[in-house]
Protein backbone atom coordinates (compact mmCIF):
# COMPACT_ATOMS: atom_id res chain seq x y z
CA UNK A 1 0.00 0.00 0.00
CA UNK A 2 1.51 3.36 -0.93
CA UNK A 3 2.23 6.00 1.65
CA UNK A 4 -0.08 9.02 1.82
CA UNK A 5 1.46 12.37 0.92
CA UNK A 6 1.90 14.92 3.73
CA UNK A 7 -0.35 17.48 1.97
CA UNK A 8 -3.18 14.90 1.81
CA UNK A 9 -3.10 14.30 5.60
CA UNK A 10 -4.53 16.20 8.58
CA UNK A 11 -3.43 15.03 12.04
CA UNK A 12 -6.29 14.93 14.56
CA UNK A 13 -4.54 13.33 17.56
CA UNK A 14 -0.88 13.86 18.36
CA UNK A 15 -0.86 11.05 20.92
CA UNK A 16 -1.38 8.26 18.40
CA UNK A 17 -0.64 10.09 15.15
CA UNK A 18 -4.18 9.49 13.95
CA UNK A 19 -5.95 11.74 11.53
CA UNK A 20 -7.78 11.90 8.23
CA UNK A 21 -6.61 11.94 4.64
CA UNK A 22 -8.13 12.86 1.32
CA UNK A 23 -8.19 9.73 -0.85
CA UNK A 24 -8.66 10.23 -4.60
CA UNK A 25 -9.69 7.23 -6.69
CA UNK A 26 -11.06 7.31 -10.21
CA UNK A 27 -11.88 11.01 -10.09
CA UNK A 28 -13.82 10.80 -6.81
CA UNK A 29 -12.69 11.70 -3.30
CA UNK A 30 -13.25 10.24 0.14
CA UNK A 31 -12.17 11.10 3.66
CA UNK A 32 -10.37 8.15 5.22
CA UNK A 33 -8.75 7.33 8.54
CA UNK A 34 -4.95 7.54 8.46
CA UNK A 35 -2.05 7.33 10.88
CA UNK A 36 1.38 8.95 10.90
CA UNK A 37 4.51 7.40 12.38
CA UNK A 38 8.25 7.43 11.69
CA UNK A 39 7.74 5.26 8.59
CA UNK A 40 5.29 7.71 6.99
CA UNK A 41 1.54 8.22 6.68
CA UNK A 42 -0.67 5.23 6.03
CA UNK A 43 -4.37 4.79 5.47
CA UNK A 44 -6.38 2.37 7.56
CA UNK A 45 -7.87 -0.37 5.40
CA UNK A 46 -10.33 -3.10 6.28
CA UNK A 47 -12.06 -6.09 4.74
CA UNK A 48 -15.81 -5.44 4.83
CA UNK A 49 -17.94 -8.43 5.68
CA UNK A 50 -21.08 -9.72 4.06
CA UNK A 51 -23.54 -12.19 5.46
CA UNK A 52 -23.73 -15.57 3.68
CA UNK A 53 -25.85 -18.37 5.12
CA UNK A 54 -25.73 -16.84 8.59
CA UNK A 55 -21.94 -16.35 8.60
CA UNK A 56 -19.83 -13.23 8.18
CA UNK A 57 -17.55 -13.63 5.17
CA UNK A 58 -14.76 -11.06 4.65
CA UNK A 59 -14.43 -9.49 1.21
CA UNK A 60 -11.48 -10.46 -0.99
CA UNK A 61 -10.26 -6.85 -1.32
CA UNK A 62 -9.62 -4.28 1.39
CA UNK A 63 -11.17 -0.82 1.21
CA UNK A 64 -10.24 2.44 2.99
CA UNK A 65 -11.79 2.88 6.42
CA UNK A 66 -14.00 5.95 7.01
CA UNK A 67 -13.10 8.87 9.24
CA UNK A 68 -12.28 8.42 12.96
CA UNK A 69 -14.37 9.61 15.89
CA UNK A 70 -13.60 13.27 16.61
CA UNK A 71 -14.63 16.06 18.93
CA UNK A 72 -16.71 18.94 17.61
CA UNK A 73 -13.63 21.19 17.51
CA UNK A 74 -11.61 18.58 15.60
CA UNK A 75 -14.40 18.20 13.03
CA UNK A 76 -14.45 21.97 12.51
CA UNK A 77 -10.65 21.96 12.04
CA UNK A 78 -10.93 19.12 9.51
CA UNK A 79 -13.71 20.95 7.64
CA UNK A 80 -11.51 24.07 7.38
CA UNK A 81 -8.61 21.94 6.15
CA UNK A 82 -10.80 20.31 3.48
CA UNK A 83 -11.87 23.74 2.22
CA UNK A 84 -8.25 24.90 1.99
CA UNK A 85 -7.22 21.60 0.36
CA UNK A 86 -9.61 22.28 -2.51
CA UNK A 87 -8.81 26.04 -2.55
CA UNK A 88 -12.34 27.00 -1.49
CA UNK A 89 -12.95 30.25 0.41
CA UNK A 90 -14.92 29.15 3.46
CA UNK A 91 -15.84 32.66 4.59
CA UNK A 92 -19.17 32.40 2.77
CA UNK A 93 -20.28 29.51 4.98
Q: Judge whether residue 55 has pLDDT over 90.
A: yes
pLDDT of residue 92: 65
Q: How high is the mean pLDDT of the chain?
A: 88
pTM over 0.85: no
Average pLDDT over residues 53-61: 93
- Using an 8 Å Cβ cutoff, are 68 and 12 in contact? yes
Q: Is the pLDDT of residue 93 over 70?
A: no
Q: How far is CA 51 from CA 13, 45, 48, 55, 56, in A?
A: 34, 20, 10, 5, 5
Amino acid sequence: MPSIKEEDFFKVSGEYGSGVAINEYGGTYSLITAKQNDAGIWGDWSYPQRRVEGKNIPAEKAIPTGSPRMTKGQIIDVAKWILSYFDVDGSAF
